Structure 1
Amino acid sequence: MYKCPGCNSEISLDDVNVSTDIALCRACGQTNSFAEMNETAGLPDFNELKQPKHIRIEPDFSDGKSLVCKKMSPIALFLIPFTAVWSGMSMWGIYGTQFMKGEFNLTMSLFGLPFLFGTVVLVSVCLFSLFGKRVVTMGNGRGLVFVGVGPLGWKRRFLYTKNLKVSVDYSAMRQNNRPVKCIYIKGGSKELKLGWGMKDELLEYIAAFIRYEADKA
């Protein structure tokens, strides 16, 4: 389904000229780029989608909305025991023995820095797999994407208009030697990507929410 970016009316394929990249909206008379419309044509209508159980929508930015996605990752079942054993043994063997003896070994301590860094990374991933959340906030032409635990995490801000381009497509990232889908948000010269590793159902719902809220601008 192709919709006019200006009035959100449906555009018939009879009013599309692919060779000249023109799509005419009979409702408002506006001509649009068919190539740009085609980027978001694959997204379903937000109002027709069933809200996934791991997602909630709440008010924000006074007249805006926030979509919050919180879901425990199955990888936590493997990663937590692995982190406890690997990090526990390495940290105890390198730093714990020094503490128990009341001694400081500079060579051993420096040798243990990569293991310490690995422990920090693994613990962070464990926390995100258990308590992590993805939040997309839209309101008053301003958008915010947050990925993290509590107040700590990755943030990206963007401005949007009614013509914001949102799509779900394959990314350069790969999992099990297969490309992974993510959400592309294109506003002007800026492009954001989010949602790597999420199920298609969640990606489509989040992308449809972003486009639906942008259409209100």
Structure 2
Amino acid sequence: MSTPAHTPSVPPPRGTYLRHDGVETVIGASTRSPAAFIFVPFLVLWSGLSLGGLYGSQIAKGKFDLFLSLFGIPFLIVALLLGWSTLMCVVGRVEVRLRHGEGAVFTGIGPIGSRERFDASAVSDVREQRSRRSGRRAASTCIVLDGPRPVSFGTLLNSPRRRFMVAALRQTLRLA
């Protein structure tokens, strides 16, 4: 049974959670997004038309075509990336686990995703930061855990969920 840790000053929006079981504190948020209403149909069309046309025709004819198979690899890669993005918009999550001065940030779906560990006792500040990655026109906003080795995450979260995580992390790490 988990009980709330510290109550952040920001009320928890839908899709966020803060749990403390006496040993570990978990602060998380869903990456669910209305963009899924665009991604899902586009993924179905993209995969059906491009992959179905390139590989489905070979399977239906029972004949392998090396040129078509090689030509289809970029379409397959785009379909996989689009599939991952779609799943993140539907069932993804960002989660920070804090336990005995150690921390881990997880971004993914179920157990599949990326995990970055950090020294929670060395975090000096938690803040939102607008960042522009190379090659991108639009700036994205992320959560930054400042310390000897800064950790950035949360670009897939909407503003209310990101603000909740920042407030909950500040409160839990006693930086408020």
Q: TM-score, normalised by structure 2?
A: 0.86
Give the number of the structure whose residues are more often strand, by fraction: 1
The alpha-carbon distance between structure 1 residues 130 and 199, as it changes in their structure 2 partners (threshold 3 A), is: closer
Closer, same or farther in 2 for the Cα pair 1:106/1:163, shift >3 Å? closer
Cα deviations across residues 51-108 of structure 1 (Å, max 9, x unaligned)? 1121112235x52210121242111101111111111011111111111111101111
Aligned to 1:130: 90
Identity %: 28
Q: Name the larger-Rg structure.
A: 1
Looking at structure 2, the residues matched to 206 and 63 of structure 1 have their Cα atoms a distance apart, in angstroms, of 19
- Secondary structure of the 1:57 match is strand
Closer, same or farther: CA 69–75 of 1 in aligned 2, 3 Å: same
CA contact (8 A) 1:46 1:205 kept: no
- Asked if structure 1 preserves the Cα contact closer than 8 Å seen for 2:123 and 2:146, the reply is no
Distance in 1 of aligned mates of 2:140 and 2:82: 22
Partner of 1:59: 20
- Runs of 4+ displaced beyond 6 Å: none
Residue of structure 2 equivalent to 1:69: 29
- Residue number in structure 1 paired with 2:157: 198
Which amino acid letter does the alignment assign opposite residue 69 of structure 2?
A: S
Give, in whole Å, the separation in 2 of the partners of 1:209 and 1:111: 48
Residue correspondence of structure 1 range 9-48 to structure 2 within 5 A? 47-48=8-9
* One-letter amino acid of the counterpart of residue 92, structure 1: G
CA distance in 2, matches of 1:47, 1:87: 43
Does 1:89 pair with 2:49? yes
SS in 2 for 1:47: coil
Residue 177 of structure 1 deviates from its aligned partner by 4.9
Structure-2 separation of matches of 1:209 and 1:135: 12
CA distance in 2, matches of 1:120, 1:65: 33
What is the rounded CA distance, in whole Å, between the counterparts of 2:25 and 2:153 in structure 1? Answer: 18
Change in 2 beyond 3 A, CA 1:178/1:101: closer
Q: How many residues align?
A: 169
Q: Distance in 2 between matches of 1:163 and 1:114?
A: 41
Aligned mates of 1:122, 1:178 — CA distance in 2: 19
Summarize deviations over 1:13-65 as a string: whole Å, max 9, x none.
xxxxxxxxxxxxxxxxxxxxxxxxxxxxxxxx9632211121112235x5221
Gaps of 5+ in 2: 1-5
TM-score by length of 1: 0.71
Distance 2:132 2:94 in 1: 21
In the alignment, is the contact (CA less than 8 A) between 1:195 and 1:203 conserved in 2? yes
In structure 2, the residue matched to 1:101 is: 61
CA distance in 1, matches of 2:91, 2:159: 21
Higher RCO structure, 1 or 2 (CA under 8 Å, sep 6+): 2
CA distance in 1, matches of 2:163, 2:100: 23
**Is the partner of 2:132 in helix, strand or coil?**
strand
Contact 2:26 2:98 in 1 (8 A): yes
Distance 1:149 1:197 in 2: 13
